[in-house]
Chains A and B, each alone.
Chain A
Amino acid sequence: MKRWLIVSIAANLIALAGPGTRAATAQGAAPAPPTNLTVADHPWDNGDSLDLKWELSPDDASLLNYQVFKALGQIGPVNQSPLEFELVGRVPPGTGEYQVSHVPAEIEKSVKDMESHRNLFSDPPLPEDPRKKVKLKVSYLFRVVAVAKDGAPSTSATTTEPFTPTREWFMGNRFSLSIITVIFCGAVIFWINRARKGKPIKVRKIAGLEAVDEAVGRATEMGRSILYVPGTQDINEIQTIASLAILSRVSKTAAEYDAKVEIPVARSLVMATARETVHAAYLAAGRPDAYNEDLIYYVTDEQFGYVAYLQGMMVREKPATCFYMGAFYAESLILAETGNSIGAIQIAGTAMPAQLPFFVAACDYTLIGEEFFAASAYLSGSAEELGSLKGQDVGKVMVAVLLLLGVLMATIATMADNATLQDWVTYLKEIILT
């Protein structure tokens, strides 16, 4: 404890004698500092956030901002300096709190987007910004300085004891989501069980899925092949798994009709899985001899390399039917337009909203979002799988209720200028919907 008191006093002395004081003397009067800086663990988190609070400077109205600094506390080797304070954030005047490690979701997303679009070879790695982060089981000291509009800093308010963030057993900001998850999963399981007991379930006709047999039949009549593209993503993508479920049905029909299905893939694991799926479908159709694993082959992981291959293959071999089922990006329209130009009947399905208009414009049938996920249940006709679709309806009701509630609350909060309702709307938007 004594050591920390010495550290704390030393930190304050350094702050007083530091460049900030010299700058203030040179440029004008330093503002009064903030006081009573306290630090507390952020509740219900992963132990990577701390909440700072302080009393505003008496000169708050004339400030540019408050600057928050952090320094490592005494945790490791004794010779590790605990006094290297680094800037972690700037807070506008009038605000007396700051959450260290808080990175807004939109910033986090934009960094992830930048990372995913980064050229591996030519772009430098994105700098990781460790300033705001605090780590579990590591102690920290904090300092807050008021900065005047002319840049003159005040003396600092510094925490006297190092503080260590702690981890709770549950992520508090995901509590609402966990409730929604439990209700939704419960509803799906309930309807699956209900369907198992033989209760009839009505599912509306989906034109794209009704056309599968017709499309396979057309290829058989024309004596041409069927092209099945299971997207460009790997097997850890749920759309690829949903696509393989549809492939199972397409292959079984093709085996019955003695049609040839060609499946070029962009991922090795998808190739291995698709072979198993198609093999089992041929067995189920009673045609194991007709199964040819060479028709399911790997092309390349590269998006446009894969597209170039498919385009060339389509133009040369002119398949009578093309299925595009899975996750697609920019290649969707190139594939669908090429298929259209060779006169193939085309059925597409994806859960990528940005690609749906392209498929709708260029394909004969398109499974939009949830229809694509419902395809496996629809095609199999299995009661328990159809039951899960009914469970999804419960989710839709929940969403509708939340939507109505949110719209009502937001409207009333604005009209009545009610702060409590406004808080609820913020909670709904930032916690439940995020």
Chain B
Amino acid sequence: MKRTIPLLLAMSAGFVMIVAFFIPATLTWGEKVSIWFDILASIAFILGGGNLLKVQLKKISDKTAGWGYSVITVVAFLVMLFVGLTKFGVNPNPAFPAHGHWAGQYNEIGSPFWWLYEYMFKPLQATIFAMLAFYVASAAFRAFRAKNFEAILLLVTAFIILLGRTAAGVFLTDFISADSGFQGLRLENFTGYIMDVFNTAGNRAIMIGIALGTASVSLKILLGVDRSYLGSGEE
């Protein structure tokens, strides 16, 4: 029963989504299924929040390596939750004066929640994202080592693409007239050619494989052939 009901739910939701794609009268059914999922995911957030507290408090209690970070996590979580749920510092809504600050927007510009988001959360998020630039450099350094023929091909192609996307690339092949028969050799044009022809062809091959794989896996789940996501089939 523990596996049959989730399986039936998954199957019926999946079939509704397929039918809704082709039959207009059932379009709203598909939308409803999506809304149900959103509701379910929202409720599950309580589960996640509870688990977060449990895990981090246990780390603090056990004084495991990096427990100080857990303290920061718990404090940040509770502060954000308190400020957001209580609408702390939110201005009252003039349209509903009787309700005080509860009728105000929790994310209005200048509110504590907005401030925490803009000046604490966003810079932290941007910092992690910015690290990507350094990781791209280190990964490129490793990937472009000319170890064999394929690696050399990759290196040369990457060099052309990188150069063609910069002002230096345009300047270097500026001597080739844009009206001549060799204009395709101008770096910016050659880069475009590589991206539009070779890159697109490779990308589409991968995309077709992904699309077929997605359809096949979905079908296996809808038919109940693949139940491994519910636990081992050997149970």
Contact = CB atoms under 8 A, between A and B. Distances in A.
Interface centre among B23, B47, B221 (most CB of A within 10 A): B23
A333 B210 contact: no
B25 A236 contact: no
Given A46-B24, A351-B210, 11 more contacts: A121-B107, A169-B24, A268-B45, A284-B235, A297-B51, A298-B48, A305-B125, A312-B66, A334-B132, A380-B228, A392-B213
A267 B41 contact: yes
B69 to A, nearest CB: 6
Contact of B231 (A168, A184, A276, A337): A276
A303 to B, nearest CB: 8
A362 interface: yes
Question: Which DSSP category, helix, strand, loop or mixed, fits chain B's interface?
Answer: helix
Contacts of A185: 215, 219
Given A373-B214, A389-B216, A121 B44 contact: no
B25 to A, nearest CB: 7
A122 B228 contact: no
A46 B20 CA distance: 11
A395 B215 contact: yes
B230 A277 contact: yes
B51 to A, nearest CB: 5
Interface string A308-347: 1000110011000000000000100110110000000000
B179 interface: no
B232 A188 contact: no
A361 B142 contact: yes
Interface of B: 18, 21-25, 27, 37, 40-41, 44-49, 51-52, 55, 58, 65-66, 69, 107, 109, 114, 117-118, 121, 124-125, 128-129, 131-132, 135-136, 138-140, 142-143, 203, 206-210, 212-221, 223, 225-226, 228-235
A410 B114 CA distance: 55
A388 B41 contact: no
A276 B128 CA distance: 32
Interface residues of A, number: 89
B218 A238 contact: yes
B52 to A, nearest CB: 6
Interface in A378-404: 380, 382, 384-385, 388-389, 391-392, 395-396, 399
Given A276-B230, A333-B139, A399-B208, A236 B216 contact: no
Contacts of B229: 241, 244-245, 248, 273, 277
Contacts of B132: 330, 333-334
Contacts of B23: 169-171
A302 B117 CA distance: 12
Interface centre among B58, B69, B107, B131 (most CB of A within 10 A): B131
